[in-house]
Amino acid sequence: MPSSLVSNLYDDFTSTYNDDPQFIIDFFNKNTIVFNNLKTLADEDDLRCYIELSMSHAYALFQKNRYTETIDSINKTLPIIDKEIIKLNANESRDGYYTLFFLKGQASYRLNDYKTATPIFKELIVYDPKNENYKKWLRDSINKKEVRIFTMITIGSSMLILIETMLSFFKIGSLSFRNTLLITALSGLIGGFIYNLYNERSFRKSK
């Protein structure tokens, strides 16, 4: 597919532009075949147009709270952008690449996928160590991940206490087995509390 279509689509997009996420989404849906079959770009101008179109589409999906679709869209465009930046030696377009990458991290965060979001924010800080926004998102992502771990420990320990209580009530299992369950549960609750307290203090200090 001729890569000059990117510039033509960009001109069409900007000439009819409407600052409404649904307009942007509809525009891309109308031109899905073109975007899905685009594999290479002719020059740096095409690359610039492609990055701006990709950012507009991803951000429109993000604004509509369609976070999974946001990530899917970015995952399709980032490899093409990265490949073309290298091919065209267009390092000045790297900021656009990382803008999309940042949006992927934000969308992952909104989906509570902190396992994906945290490494993204860490990589962004390597790219731009002085960016306070990247640092803020990284702190929040790490904190949310730690809170989730604490919640899982608390739920698991509470279930063990409930099981131990029921076994004791019906006199099922040996005393040593029930005591082991109880000790494990209490250790989990105490350990989880200390872990969460340490995490909260670390989070406040980092802010």
Number of domains within the chain: 2
Q: Is residue 124 part of a domain?
A: no
Q: Evaluate the CA torsion angle 173, 177, 183, 189 in order and state its sign.
A: negative
Q: Cα(153)–Cα(157) distance, rounded to whole angstroms?
A: 6
pLDDT value at residue 198: 61
Mean pLDDT by 10 residues, the chain (207 residues): 74 92 95 87 92 97 98 96 96 96 98 96 96 94 81 84 87 87 84 66 55
Among residues 111, 127, 154, the one where a domain terminates is 111
Among residues 111, 136, 171, the one where a domain terminates is 111
- Domain residues for the domain of 47 are 4-111
- Take residue 32 and report the two structure tokens written for it: 């899905």
pLDDT value at residue 200: 59
Among residues 65, 91, 111, the one where a domain terminates is 111
Q: Is residue 152 part of a domain?
A: yes
Q: Are residues 107 and 65 in the same domain?
A: yes
